[in-house]
Amino acid sequence: MSTYYVSKQGDDQNVGNQSTPFLTINHAAQIAKAGDAIIVHQGIYREQIDPRRSGTATHRITYRAAAGEHVTISGAEVVTGWQRVAQGVWQTVIDNQLFGKCNPFAQQLRGDWLEQSNGCHTGDFYVNGQSFYEASTLDEVLAGVNRQAVTEYITNVTVPDPHAERTQYLWFAEVGKNQTTLIANFHELQPNQELTEINVRQTCFYPSRLGINDITIAGFEICQAATPWAPPTTEQVGMVGPHWAKGWVIEDNNLHDAKCSAISIGTPQLGEENAFSKHHDKPGYQYQLEKVFEAQRLGWNRETVGSHLIRNNEIHHCGQGGIIGNLGGIFSDIRHNHIYEIGMKFEFSGWEISALKLHAGIDTVIEDNQIDHNTLGTWLDWQAQGTQILRNLYHHNLRDLLIEMCHGPFLVAENIFASAHAIDEFSQGGAFINNLIVGETIIENVLNRATPYHLPHSTAIKGYAMVYGSDDRYLNNIFIGMADHSHTNGTKAYDGSSLSMKDFVQAVEVRLPGDVELFETVRQPAYIDHNVYLQGAQGFTKEVHAFKDADFDADFVVSQSGKTVKVSLKMPPTFQTFCGRVQSTATLSQTRLSEMRFENPDGSALRLAHDYFGWPNDKGGENVPGPFSQLRPGDNEIVVWESPLE
């Protein structure tokens, strides 16, 4: 096992030791073997790293920034030679050889479920590290305003004042055979006195081969890649990603300004890509379903893919996703990351935009993250089976959590959902336990498409089903509504559900004879108890044990100072007399369709006896509802986040 060193004062003709280091990280990546380490000294490395070999579970290949040194891996190059063409407007001419095989300023964003691209390209332009806006026309650049009306389809929320003229720092590219001319409106800035960069590489750290396993990437700033739109029906290219491999560790990094996605733990190319948007002959849903079978033929299982650890990263200012993945993120752990400002430029829109978006996150644990100021915080789409969302902080998102077309069991426990729109659940078979839910909650069935469910802790498909609504468990949560009742918060949407599988079966039997149509008209059971409803939140009518004070003003506030986040809220005087019940595998009924118990990813029994901070929350089988065991009547102020990075 060897240690190789890389320095901006090095040379790739060197032997790569501490006294005679290499110049580029990628050169070291072609040499490194299992057990080797690559230590990178400070500087900006403008290169794409394509590791050649795998590590092993016991002898990883590690890429690490030298202790105490700032190392940047950039997908961008510096451009200079700006010439003034009008007041505030400058241009520069770029030789297309700079881009290699693919010029991102000639590559438009396109693909399945991209609803409005507005002519955006994968290319982007940065001044002093800040990205400008791409204009639709050269006239917009000359005027210094952007008249695009962008509707964010992900959230069904229209950007405020979308038709208003907005003064912006804009750019436009004219691409020729040999040269690209970049024109930008800098307003008061003098571009020849600023750092001006364009992204030229599609990725920063991404193998071209499949199956490059057991890689660690730690301690870098990684930024400014021309990543393409990445739906689940195409190879999901990220600025960083394993490209269908196993056992990567991505930790302690600062990842930002990917045009679309920062980290991809998604699929490789599986047959024709973006076929729906090309042909319009079958629904995109159908093409996506075919990808699941193609992945199984490729060997989609625990032995070949997944089991990644993504922790302690800052991920921000990307157009589509902070972390995305279809099928390739199985059995992974996504822990203590701060993900923010994803999709918030509103340059383009579509159905795949989220800070964290996973398809088929089987037995994946999403824990202890702060996810804020995004169009959508977390989106679990299809096959969230054994998935756990634990102790996360969501705030100031347009929406916090969307769970779509999943059949369970999935667990959402000890989280803080503090945005105005908290939870959309278009799924079944979930358990929501000991959460603080401040925003709107919406529950819907989906009877026009079926998605797979699997054998326990496996990728093997057991069956398919529609989403019939309910079969959910809401236990020990605190719901805080809006004082003016302007949105729906609570569990009242489950009214009409039966209370047990026995009652459900009886309701089906009295409608016999029949088959499929019976299950479209009989709601599945709902298991709802020991919840707290304040400030207009409304509960399930049949809930036996509930604390309700619709008129109580909880005065809930999320405040942020630097890297520290606090929540403050008031609780009613009699709150201390109300207790929840500690939940476990033994107390949570199995899901109806997948017929699975709520367990840990390793198959061991689950017991939810701790709170958001990991402190004990179990007094003889009873606990404090919500995520905080220290919550008391009256005023409460609680620090809920400290930054993972200095």
Q: Is the pLDDT of residue 145 over 80?
A: no
Query: How many Cβ atoms from other residues are within 10 Å of residue 158's Cβ?
Result: 13
Query: How many Cβ atoms from other residues are within 10 Å of residue 620's Cβ?
Result: 7
CB-based contacts of 292-295 (< 8 A; 24+ apart in sequence) = 292/327, 292/360, 292/452, 292/461, 294/270, 295/267, 295/270, 295/327
Q: In a 3-state reduction of DSSP, which class is residue 95?
A: strand
What is the arithmetic mean of pLDDT over 560-569? 94
Q: What is the structure's pLDDT at 160?
A: 40
Please enumerate in sequence order all residues whose Cβ is within 8 A of that of 296, keeping only pairs 6 or more positions apart, or say none. Answer: 459, 461
What's the length of the chain? 646
CB distance 311 to 337 below 8 Å: yes
Question: How many Cα neighbours within 13 Å face the side chain of 59?
Answer: 10
User: Phi, psi (5° rounding) for residue 556?
Assistant: -80, 135
Q: In a 3-state reduction of DSSP, which class is residue 27?
A: helix
Tens of pLDDT, residue by residue over 327-356, are: 999 999 999 999 999 999 999 999 999 999
Please enumerate in sequence order all residues whose Cβ is within 8 A of that of 63, keeping only pairs 6 or more positions apart, or say none. Answer: 25, 29, 37, 38, 40, 49, 205, 215, 216, 217, 218, 220
What's the rounded Cα separation, in Å, for the pair 459 and 453? 9
Which residues share a beta bridge with 529?
Answer: 475
CB distance 438 to 417 below 8 Å: yes
Residue carrying the six token digits 């105490």? 68
Residue carrying the six token digits 């939810």? 608
Lookup: tokens for 101: 């095989």
Q: In a 3-state reduction of DSSP, which class is residue 11?
A: coil
Q: Is the pLDDT of residue 292 over 60?
A: yes
Tens of pLDDT, residue by residue over 212-234, are: 999 999 999 999 999 999 999 99
**Strand 478-480 versus strand 436-437 pairing type:** parallel
Q: What is the structure's pLDDT at 165?
A: 44
CB distance 439 to 489 below 8 Å: yes
CB distance 428 to 450 below 8 Å: no
Q: First-to-last CA distance in the chain?
A: 31
R_g over Cα of the chain: 26
Please name which of 272, 267, 274, 212 lies closest in space to residue 237, comparing C-alpha atoms.
Answer: 267
Which spans in 138-212 are helix H? 138-143
Of 126-135, 153-162, 241-250, least confident by mean pLDDT is 153-162
Q: What is the structure's pLDDT at 508?
A: 93
Q: Give 96's pLDDT tier (boundaries 50, 70, 90).
A: very high
What's the rounded Cα separation, in Å, for the pair 223 and 227? 11
Q: What is the structure's pLDDT at 484?
A: 66
> What residue ranges do the domains of the chain occupy?
3-69, 78-199
Q: What percent of the chain has pLDDT over 90?
A: 91
Please enumerate in sequence order all residues whose Cβ is within 8 A of that of 14, keeping only pairs 6 or more positions apart, or say none. Answer: 20, 21, 22, 23
Q: Give 199's pLDDT tier (boundaries 50, 70, 90).
A: very high
CB distance 544 to 529 below 8 Å: yes
What is the arithmetic mean of pLDDT over 559-575? 94
What's the rounded Cα separation, in Å, for the pair 316 and 382? 25
CB distance 398 to 152 below 8 Å: yes
Q: Is the pLDDT of residue 150 over 50?
A: no
Cis before 409? omega within 30: yes
Lookup: tokens for 381: 């789409």
Residue carrying the six token digits 């920063």? 204
What's the rounded Cα separation, in Å, for the pair 300 and 4? 33
Q: What is the structure's pLDDT at 168?
A: 79
Q: What is the structure's pLDDT at 42?
A: 98
What is the arithmetic mean of pLDDT over 554-561? 94
Q: Give 126's pLDDT tier (boundaries 50, 70, 90).
A: very high
Q: Is the pLDDT of residue 469 over 90?
A: no
Tens of pLDDT, residue by residue over 490-538, are: 999 999 999 999 999 999 999 999 999 888 889 999 999 999 999 999 9
The four Cα atoms 16, 18, 21, 25 give a dihedral, to 10 degrees, of 80
- For the question of whether the overall pTM of this predicted structure is more than 0.85, the answer is yes
What is the arithmetic mean of pLDDT over 29-44? 98
Q: In a 3-state reduction of DSSP, which class is residue 358?
A: strand
78-199 CATH pick, 2.60.40.1180, 3.40.50.300, 2.60.40.2230, 1.10.150.120: 2.60.40.1180
Residue carrying the six token digits 């890429």? 63
CB distance 625 to 532 below 8 Å: yes
What's the rounded Cα separation, in Å, for the pair 344 and 358? 19
Please enumerate in sequence order all residues whose Cβ is within 8 A of that of 505, keeping only pairs 6 or more positions apart, or say none. Answer: none
Average pLDDT, the chain: 94
State whether the Cα torsion 132-134-138-144 is positive or negative.
Answer: negative
Tens of pLDDT, residue by residue over 412-461, are: 999 999 999 999 999 999 999 999 999 999 999 999 999 999 999 999 99
What's the rounded Cα separation, in Å, for the pair 503 and 497? 10
Cα 474 to the center of its chain, rounded Å: 24
Query: How many Cβ atoms from other residues are within 10 Å of residue 273's Cβ?
Result: 17
Burial class (CB in 10 A: 0-12, 13-18, 19+), 9: exposed
What's the rounded Cα separation, in Å, for the pair 389 and 364? 9
